Amino acid sequence: MTSPDGLSIKDVMSPHLILKRIIKEKQAHNPRVSLRRIAARMGISSGRLSEILSEKRPLTAYYADKFCAALNLPESDISALKRSLAAPTDKQTFGPVLEEHVVEKLADWKPYALLSFFQTTIYASLRHQHDTRESQIQEISKRLNLTTRELTVLLDAMTQTGLIEWDNSAWRPTHNEATTGYDIPSHARMQGLIADLHLAQEKIKNISVHERDFSSMTLTMDPKDIHKAKKLIRDFRRNFVRVMEKGSKKSVHQISIQFFPIVSSDDPSKESL
């Protein structure tokens, strides 16, 4: 079995072993480097980091980016970790594929905005002032401009699918990687993308140009390279988030990327995604 880069399982060290090697090297240079200290910099509990290292919890791209940022790793270590995550494994590291009726509740921008909001300093302050679900729903609905009913349904769906959990008077992202199946046509997913475009239209009208950036460009390419283009976009998104989330989390932003043909395809049988 090989990865998209042509690497076999045997060619790449497992990501968990890479983490352990890096931590061991850091501790050899500085004995004060502990799992507790690393976990604090990642913004997670030391118990969760231990679960990742012992392979009781999957190492997702989210946690890998957190680890790289926390230890300010050189590009060589970051590349090694990314290659390892991209390589095939004998274990399933992704969450369950969500069914269509579940996706309908989670397909647009709102759940992603909530997952990010729960990690901000704004929410940290809010939950100390409001320690019940009901009072938090009242406050969060104002922040996201949603009705309390709409927010309650969304939170229930996210909890049922394991995306968040209510723990110690706070909602916490679990960082499970549930998916609709990448590149699998889905009516709900399509409606979610349309909702993202509508949201962007609203922001063009209501947000100052100093607080947003909209741009586009047109290019020529070989349609056979579409998978290469999608991979470049995915890699850019991950790198962008990794860099932007290094600072203090005081706000929630969305980056949207659209990539599509302007000239119609010669193949009328192509499905829309």
Tens of pLDDT, residue by residue over 151-189, are 998 998 888 877 888 888 899 887 665 554 444 445 656
What spatial distance separates the first Cα and last Cα of the chain, rounded to whole Å?
A: 27
Q: Does the predicted TM-score (pTM) go above 0.85? A: no
Please report where in the chains the tokens 């947000």 appear, as a residue: 207
What is the distance between the alpha carbons of residues 15 and 18, in angstroms, rounded to a whole number? 5
Position 188 scores a pLDDT of 59
Please check the confidence at residue 254 and state whether its pLDDT lies above 70. Answer: yes
Q: Percentage of residues in the chain with pLDDT exceeding 70?
A: 78
Is 251 strand, coil or helix?
A: coil
Q: Could you tell me the domains of the chain?
A: 9-86 (1.10.260.40), 94-273 (no CATH)
Tell me what the mean pLDDT of segment 9-38 comes to.
Answer: 80
Q: How confident is the model at residue 242 (pLDDT cuts 50, 70, 90)?
A: confident
Please check the confidence at residue 12 and state whether its pLDDT lies above 50. Answer: no
> Chain centroid to CA 51: how far?
20
Query: C-alpha distances in angstroms, 30 versus 23, 27, 40, 76?
Result: 10, 5, 17, 20
Q: How confident is the model at residue 126 (pLDDT cuts 50, 70, 90)?
A: very high
CB contact set of 108 (below 8 Å; sequence gap of 6+): 191, 192, 195, 196, 199
CB contact set of 220 (below 8 Å; sequence gap of 6+): none
The pLDDT mean for the chain works out to 80
Position 7 scores a pLDDT of 34
Position 132 scores a pLDDT of 93
Position 98 scores a pLDDT of 59
Position 4 scores a pLDDT of 38
Position 135 scores a pLDDT of 95
Please check the confidence at residue 55 and state whether its pLDDT lies above 60. Answer: yes
Q: How confident is the model at residue 149 (pLDDT cuts 50, 70, 90)?
A: very high
What is the distance between the alpha carbons of residues 140 and 136, in angstroms, rounded to a whole number? 6
Report the length, in residues, of the chain: 273
What is the distance between the alpha carbons of residues 99 and 141, in angstroms, rounded to a whole number? 26
Least confident of 9-13, 50-54, 263-267: 9-13
**Stretch (H or E) spanning 166:** strand 164-166
- Paired strand residues for 166: 171
If one compares 93 and 55, the residue with the highest pLDDT of the two is 55
- Between CA 201 and CA 213, with CA 207 as vertex, the angle to 5 degrees is 75
**Stretch (H or E) spanning 52:** helix 46-53
**How many CB atoms are closer than 10 A to CB 87?**
21
Under DSSP, the state recorded for 256 is: -
The model's pLDDT over 16-28, given as tens digits with 9 standing for 90+, comes to: 888 888 999 989 9
- Between CA 15 and CA 148, with CA 111 as vertex, the angle to 5 degrees is 150
Please check the confidence at residue 74 and state whether its pLDDT lies above 90. Answer: no
The token pair that represents 155 in the structure block: 């939170």
Position 2 scores a pLDDT of 36
Under DSSP, the state recorded for 43 is: T
The single-letter code of the amino acid at 112 is Y
Residue of 19, 25, 21, 24 whose CA lies nearest to 60: 19
Position 97 scores a pLDDT of 57
- Between CA 87 and CA 94, with CA 93 as vertex, the angle to 5 degrees is 110
Please check the confidence at residue 110 and state whether its pLDDT lies above 70. Answer: yes
Position 3 scores a pLDDT of 39
